[in-house]
């Protein structure tokens, strides 16, 4: 770890990667210099079996983060108690350092049966949705016995009835429920690119207008109080031409735009735990770890530069005081 003197050291974020079945063997046989791995919780809801045997072995090498998709925290029909109990059992078994789900709707009653949509659907950002989500988050946190992180969506439809901006809505959720946010930076970029198409008014910003895309994403981040952020997700997706709809397919390396936004997010929020996701067209383990190394290099640059500036600023202030 870089140090200026015996007392000053760089405070770096934890850096991890999303672990998929394709990389289980590599994670065990080629341990990497990362701080944690994230798994999708629902893949391990079974009480036993080979998946738990592997995850138990992997947990000897890495800290675990659990990322859930089944709570549907924005659903008027709460998730079945069974879902919460299965997630609770998993939390008790692996003691994850991070636990997250999404700001979405996914549960509804169909023919008298609670049914999961199989997708993460957006909610309108208004007081009714806020009350529902606060209630569901509090219920989940009470059952789980710990704070959860709530992730912003890449949304492909825009529901009518919003009275808040998304960032304002999520900040109110944190204030009223005690949760924190998992901010997916690629989702912000995808939404900025798709926004004109959702409104059927093709205009800038387009995917080629990186400066405008970044400006919109930074504005979003600026509306979030730093104390509400608990984790950052980084991902890449298939590029599109101007006027085409972008899908957050997690199938590519992290884009230059997202790396730029990541640097800004660290400067704004501090050393927040960071995860690289890659779910489709999976690369080699070494390539995935290489993405985590890029995140680590950016963090080292951001925080070592900030630390170097501290004594310089102190000396300047001291000299200015002597002059007066």
Instruction: Look up residue 17 and give its two tokens.
Output: 């990667």
At residue 317, the pLDDT reads: 47
User: pLDDT-derived band of residue 199, with 50, 70 and 90 as boundaries?
Assistant: low
| Higher pLDDT pick, 117 / 94 | 94
**Whole-angstrom Cα distance, residue 137 to residue 111?**
26
pLDDT tens digits, 280-306:
999 999 999 999 999 999 999 999 987
- Stated pTM of the model: 0.90
User: pLDDT-derived band of residue 6, with 50, 70 and 90 as boundaries?
Assistant: very low
**Whole-angstrom Cα distance, residue 93 to residue 133?**
27
Please say whether the beta carbons of 214 and 257 come within 8 A. Answer: yes
Please say whether the beta carbons of 231 and 98 come within 8 A. Answer: yes
User: pLDDT-derived band of residue 112, with 50, 70 and 90 as boundaries?
Assistant: confident
Please say whether the beta carbons of 55 and 24 come within 8 A. Answer: no
Task: Indicate the average pLDDT of the chain.
Answer: 90
Average pLDDT over residues 34-61: 93
Backbone φ and ψ of 36, nearest 5° = -160, 165
pLDDT tens digits, 222-239:
999 999 999 999 999 999
Please say whether the beta carbons of 38 and 16 come within 8 A. Answer: yes
Average pLDDT over residues 6-13: 70
User: Length of the chain, please?
Assistant: 324
Angle at 86 between CA 85 and CA 87, to 5 degrees: 90
pLDDT tens digits, 17-26:
999 999 999 9
Is residue 321 over pLDDT 60? no
**Whole-angstrom Cα distance, residue 112 to residue 110?**
5
Is residue 1 over pLDDT 60? no
Percent of the chain surpassing pLDDT 90: 76
Domains and CATH numbers, the chain: 15-323 (3.20.20.150)
Q: Long-range contacts for 297-303 (Cβ within 8 Å, ≥24 apart)?
A: 298/259, 298/262, 298/263, 298/266, 299/12, 299/13, 299/15, 299/266, 299/271, 299/274, 300/2, 300/10, 300/12, 301/263, 302/263, 302/266, 302/267, 303/10, 303/11, 303/12, 303/266, 303/271
Average pLDDT over residues 156-168: 93
CA proximity to 265, closest of 303, 210, 239:
303
At residue 324, the pLDDT reads: 39
């Amino acid at each position: 770890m870089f140090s200026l003197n015996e007392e000053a050291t760089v405070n770096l974020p934890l850096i991890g990667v999303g672990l998929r079945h394709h990389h289980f063997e590599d994670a065990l046989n080629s341990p990497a210099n990362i701080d944690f791995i994230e798994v999708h919780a629902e893949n391990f809801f079974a009480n036993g079996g080979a998946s738990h045997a592997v995850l138990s072995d992997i947990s000897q090498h890495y800290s675990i983060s659990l990322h859930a998709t089944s709570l549907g925290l924005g659903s008027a029909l709460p998730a079945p108690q069974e879902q919460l109990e299965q997630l609770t059992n998993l939390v008790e078994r692996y003691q994850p350092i991070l636990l997250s789900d999404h700001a979405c709707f996914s549960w509804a009653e169909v023919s008298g049966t609670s049914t999961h949509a199989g997708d993460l659907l957006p909610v309108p950002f208004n007081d009714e949705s806020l009350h529902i989500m606060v209630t569901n988050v509090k219920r989940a946190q009470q059952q789980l016995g710990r704070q959860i992180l709530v992730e912003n969506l890449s949304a492909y439809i825009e529901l009518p009835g919003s009275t808040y901006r998304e960032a304002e809505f999520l900040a109110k959720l944190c204030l009223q429920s005690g949760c924190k946010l998992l901010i997916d930076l690629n989702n912000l970029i995808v939404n900025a690119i798709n926004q004109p198409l959702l409104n059927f008014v093709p205009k800038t910003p387009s995917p080629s207008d990186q400066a405008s895309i970044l400006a919109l994403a930074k504005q979003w981040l600026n509306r979030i109080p730093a104390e509400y952020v608990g984790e950052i997700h980084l991902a890449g997706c298939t590029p599109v031409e101007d006027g085409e709809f972008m899908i957050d397919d997690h199938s590519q390396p992290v884009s230059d735009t997202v790396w730029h936004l990541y640097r800004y997010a660290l400067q704004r929020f501090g050393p927040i735990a960071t995860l690289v996701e890659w779910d489709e067209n999976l690369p080699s383990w070494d390539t995935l770890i290489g993405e985590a190394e890029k995140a680590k290099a950016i963090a080292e640059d951001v925080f070592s530069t900030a630390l170097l500036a501290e004594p310089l600023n102190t000396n300047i202030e001291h000299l200015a005081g002597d002059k007066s």
